[in-house]
């Protein structure tokens, strides 16, 4: 097996992910039951696997759109976030549910949440699968949180290392490239 496909140490199993995603979907259904226009916005690429599973279980009608932001090391200063792909939909007057894979320092979400409010959304809430709370540098209120995790680099279920591992059905701790599998 290639190194890139080596199975990392499992932190959250597929069954635990599916159970929690189901619970989050029920909470979202309850909270948005009377909502007139709900837009779910994912942050590419990491949120995609989580977002697909979540929205298949949400019963409230929802429109779907995506942002893509620059990741660290692509000519950005720490804490500097650039929008590489903007959403296509107008969000004025809509209830927006922002969906993210992981909140780490909080800079990415802070930037996007401010932008969504500035564009006239009626409400903006955040749904994040993982919360690395120890690493937070700017405050970001998480309305729907899957799991709080320790400060380890994780992959799987959308989260990558060099764009590998997104397809793992669980969350694993990435332990580096040492040795062959
Ligand atoms: P923040 O702006 O909150 O520091 O960073 C959020 C982004 O950093 C996430 O969307 C994700 O792309 C990346 N990130 C932060 N922690 C991890 C991690 O443990 N694993 C992976 N694969 N990406 C991470």
Write down the pLDDT at residue 6. Answer: 65
pLDDT tens readout for residues 9-28 = 999 999 999 999 999 999 99
What are 21-66's pLDDT values in tens digits? Answer: 999 999 999 999 999 999 999 999 999 999 999 999 999 999 999 9
Q: Please compute the mean of the pLDDT values over residues 133-150 and round it to a whole number.
A: 96
Predicted confidence at residue 178, as pLDDT, reads 46
How high is the pLDDT of residue 176? 76
Q: Is 131 a catalytic residue?
A: no
Q: What is the pLDDT of residues 63-122, one digit of tens each?
A: 999 999 986 555 545 667 889 999 999 999 999 999 999 999 999 899 999 999 999 999
Tell me, in angstroms, the distance from the centre of ligand 1 to residue 103's CA. 6
pLDDT tops 80 at residue 145: yes
Question: Can you tell me the distance from the alpha carbon of 28 to that of 52, in angstroms, rounded to the nearest whole number?
Answer: 14
How far is the C-alpha of 64 from the C-alpha of 62, rounded, in Å? Answer: 6
Query: What pLDDT shows up at residue 180?
Result: 37
- Of 104, 143, 167, 177, which is the active-site residue? 104
- Return the CATH number of the domain spanning residue range 9-69+89-149: 3.40.50.2020
Burial 30-49 (b: 16+ CB within 10 A, else e): ebbeebeebbbbbbebbbbb
Measured from the Cα of 108, ligand 1's closest atom is 2
What is the arithmetic mean of pLDDT over 126-132?
A: 98
Helix 48-57 to helix 14-31 angle (10° resolution) is 60
pLDDT of residue 92: 96
How much is the pTM? 0.92
What tokens does 36 get? 């007139």
Ligand 1, atom 16, lies closest to the CA of 104
Task: Please classify residue 112 by burial: count the beta carbons closer than 10 Å to its beta carbon, then call 0-12 exposed, 13-18 middle and 19+ buried.
Answer: buried
pLDDT of residue 81: 82
- Closest atom of ligand 1 relative to the 72 alpha carbon: 8
């Amino acid at each position: 097996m290639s190194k890139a496909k080596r199975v990392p140490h499992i932190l959250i199993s597929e069954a635990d992910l599916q159970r929690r995603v189901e619970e989050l979907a029920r909470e979202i259904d309850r909270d948005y039951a009377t909502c007139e226009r709900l837009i779910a916005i994912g942050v590419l690429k990491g949120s995609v696997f989580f977002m697909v599973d979540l929205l298949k279980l949400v019963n409230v009608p929802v429109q779907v759109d995506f942002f893509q932001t620059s990741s660290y090391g692509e000519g950005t200063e720490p804490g500097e976030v650039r929008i590489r792909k903007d959403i296509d939909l107008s969000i004025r007057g809509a209830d927006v549910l922002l969906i993210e894979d992981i909140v780490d320092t909080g800079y990415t979400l802070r930037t996007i949440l401010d932008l969504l409010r500035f564009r006239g959304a009626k409400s903006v809430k955040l749904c994040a699968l993982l919360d690395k709370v120890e690493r937070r540098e700017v405050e970001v209120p998480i309305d729907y949180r899957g799991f709080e995790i320790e400060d380890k680099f994780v992959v799987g279920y959308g989260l990558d290392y060099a764009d590998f591992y997104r397809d793992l059905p669980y969350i694993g701790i990435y332990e580096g490239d040492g040795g062959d599998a």
